[in-house]
Amino acid sequence: MIDVIIQFIESKVMINTEVVKGIASEIQIFQDIEQKESFLFVLGALTARVISLKKAAEVMDVEPEVFLKLLDLIGFDYSFLSKEDVSMERS
């Protein structure tokens, strides 16, 4: 499924596949390049609030708790709250 999405994006936006693979290869958490590319895609989708944490974990084929630990491990700041909720919590 991720491959289809990436192909669609590549067809609509000029993406240098070699650059993407180079960036993905820097991710130390996963062994194969497909997992690394999927992880980058999922991080982007989470940031854009296109998918839920549960869906992100499903795409990566791990439990949501494990995915949260991965996010914590790389220092990715993810919140279940909206931006407004986060602002209220911080004040």
* Structure confidence by residue, pLDDT tens digits, 60-79: 899 999 999 889 888 888 77
* Structure confidence by residue, pLDDT tens digits, 8-66: 666 655 656 676 666 656 666 767 878 878 888 888 888 888 888 899 999 989 999 99
The domain containing residue 36 runs over which residues?
28-90
- Does some domain include residue 85? yes
Provide the whole-model pTM. 0.62
As a dihedral over the C-alpha atoms of residue 11, residue 54, residue 43, residue 73, rounded to 10 degrees, the angle is: -150
Angle (CA) 78-74-60 rounded to 5° is 75
Interaxial angle between packed helices 33-47 and 53-60, expressed in degrees from 0 to 180 and rounded to the nearest 10:
170
DSSP category for residue 81: S
- Does some domain include residue 82? yes
Q: What token pair was written down for 15?
A: 């993406």
- Does some domain include residue 11? no
- Does some domain include residue 80? yes
- Does some domain include residue 51? yes
- Does some domain include residue 58? yes
- Does some domain include residue 2? no
Task: Say how many domains are in the chain.
Answer: 1
